Amino acid sequence: MILPISLTIAAGAALLNLWLSIRVGRVRTREKVFIGDGGNDLLTRRMRAHSNFVENTAFVLILLALVELGFGSSMWLWGVGALYLVGRILHAMGMDGMMWGRMAGTIITMLTQLGLALGALAIVYTTPTNITTTEIETVAAEPR
C-alpha cells in the first residue's frame, strides 16, 4: 500500500533536515568550530533548531503514516502534514531571531502532535470490533 501523504511529507522533512544541517555547517565553517558549539550563540541556536526538528519529526511521521493507514488519505491529513513543515521552518527562523516564528513553530508542532495522537486514538476506539483479520492458508508445495 502506498501512503502518498506520509511519503510526501517524509520527503519534505528530509529536505528540511538537509537545509537545517547546511545552516549549521555554514556557521561551523565561518566560525571554525568543528566540535560542539564553541560558545557561539548563533551556532548553538541553529544546532538546537536542527535537534528540535529531529526530536519531533520522528513522532509526527510515525503518527502521520499510521493515521493515513487507519483513516485513509484526506485533505485534512495533507493540511496537517504541510502545516507541520511550515511550522518547523518558522521555528528555525525564530531561532535566528524572528521570535514570533519560534513561538508559532512550537505551537504548530505541539498542535500537530496532539491532533495526530487524538486522531490515532479515535481510529482505534471508533473502529468496529467485529472486523476480523483474513487468514491465509499455507499450502505445502508438492515434491518434484
pLDDT tens per residue across span 15-33: 999 999 999 999 999 989 9
What gap in Å lies between CA 108 and CA 92, rounded to an integer? 13
b/e for 62-89, b at 16 or more Cβ within 10 A? ebbbbbbeeeeeeeebeebbeebbebbb
What gap in Å lies between CA 17 and CA 116, rounded to an integer? 21
pLDDT tens per residue across span 36-54: 889 888 999 999 999 999 9
Confidence of residue 128 (pLDDT cuts 50, 70, 90): confident
- Eight-class DSSP state of 143: P
**Does the pLDDT at position 55 exceed 90?**
yes
Find the range with the poorest average confidence among 48-52, 77-81, 133-137.
133-137
**Does the pLDDT at position 56 exceed 70?**
yes
For the chain, the average pLDDT equals 91
Helices 99-126 and 41-71 pack at an angle, to 10 degrees, of 20
Structural domains of the chain, with CATH: 4-122 (1.20.120.550)
Mean pLDDT confidence for 96-118? 96
Confidence of residue 127 (pLDDT cuts 50, 70, 90): confident
b/e for 25-52, b at 16 or more Cβ within 10 A? eebbeeeeeeeebeebebbebbbbbbeb
Mean pLDDT confidence for 73-87? 96
Q: Are 57 and 17 in contact (CB under 8 A)?
A: yes
pLDDT of residue 140: 67
**Does the pLDDT at position 141 exceed 80?**
no
What gap in Å lies between CA 86 and CA 88, rounded to an integer? 5
pLDDT of residue 15: 99
